[in-house]
Amino acid sequence: MNLEKVIFGFFIVLAATLNFGFVIGDIERPELHNVYEMAAALIVSLIATVLKFGDRTQIGAIHLATSLVADLQLLAAAMVWGYAEHVANTGLTPSTMSSIVSLSGGALFANVISVVILIAETIMQRR
């Protein structure tokens, strides 16, 4: 067992699960989507990205790309949230909430791809 692989797999799966936990629930109801869960998903996603740095293989490149997509989507969601609460002062209207959750949903898709690649890589290695 390789500790590095454990940490790597842990962060990738955690990023996907947190993201899933945040997204699940009625899309326009703010009380079903916790801000701390969103923050956790973003942070774990960032760490997962950094862990993927410096791998020059083809699979490593796809890994990094999916993570960057997830980061981008989650950052956009966080920015929409911050904008609605503090700049526009409209609060979390159903339309804002649904755009936040749909952006996070996009990130979830990227994270799922990440997990699929992880599984495919593991199966490919056969050891």
Partner 1 sequence: MNGTPTSTIFLVLRRLRTPLIVLIVIFSVSVLGLTLMPGPPDPNGGSMPRLSFFHATYFISYTATTIGFGEIPYAFSEQQRLWVTFCIYLSVIGWAYTLGTVFAMLQDKNFLNAVAAQRFARQVRHLREPFYLICGYGEAGHLICQALDELGYRAVVIERDEAKVGDLELQSYSADMPALCADAGQPDTLILAGLTSRYCRGVIALTNDDSTNLAVAIAARLLAPSLHALCRAEHAETAANMASFGTRHIINPFEKFGEYMALALHSPAAYNLLLWLTGLPGTTVTRHREPPEGKWVLCGYGTFGRVMTEALENAGLPVTIIDRAAPLAATHSWIKGDGTGGEALRAAGIADAVGIVAATASDVNNLSTVVTARELNPKLFTVLRQNHVANRALFDAFESDFAMVPAEIVAHECIAILTTPLLAPFLAFVRQADDAWAETLLNDLTGRFGWDVPTVWSVSLNISQAPSVYRLLMRNAAELKLGELLRTPVTDRPPLACVPLLLLREGDPPRLLPGLEEPIRLGDQLLLVGSETAHKDLGLTLFNSHTLKFVLTGQDFPSGLVWEWLAARRQVRDA
Residue 37 and residue 18 in contact, taking contact as beta carbons nearer than 8 Å: yes
Radius of gyration of the chain (CA): 16
How many Cβ atoms sit within 10 Å of the Cβ of residue 6?
10
- Name which position in 13, 27, 35, 112 contacts partner 1 (CB under 8 A): 35
- Name which position in 15, 16, 78, 113 contacts partner 1 (CB under 8 A): 78
- Name which position in 36, 89, 124, 127 contacts partner 1 (CB under 8 A): 36
Residue 78's nearest CA partner among 25, 31, 29, 19 is 19
> Does residue number 72 form part of the binding site for partner 1 (CB under 8 A)?
no
> Does residue number 88 form part of the binding site for partner 1 (CB under 8 A)?
no
Q: Is the Cβ of residue 3 or residue 54 nearer to partner 1 in the bound state?
A: 54
Encoded one letter per residue, x for contact with partner 1 by CB under 8 A and - for no contact, window 37-56 reads: --x---x--xx--xx-xx-x
- Name which position in 86, 124, 125, 127 contacts partner 1 (CB under 8 A): 86
How many Cβ atoms sit within 10 Å of the Cβ of residue 11?
21
Residue 40's nearest CA partner among 20, 25, 67 is 20
Residue 19 and residue 111 in contact, taking contact as beta carbons nearer than 8 Å: yes
> Does residue number 81 form part of the binding site for partner 1 (CB under 8 A)?
yes
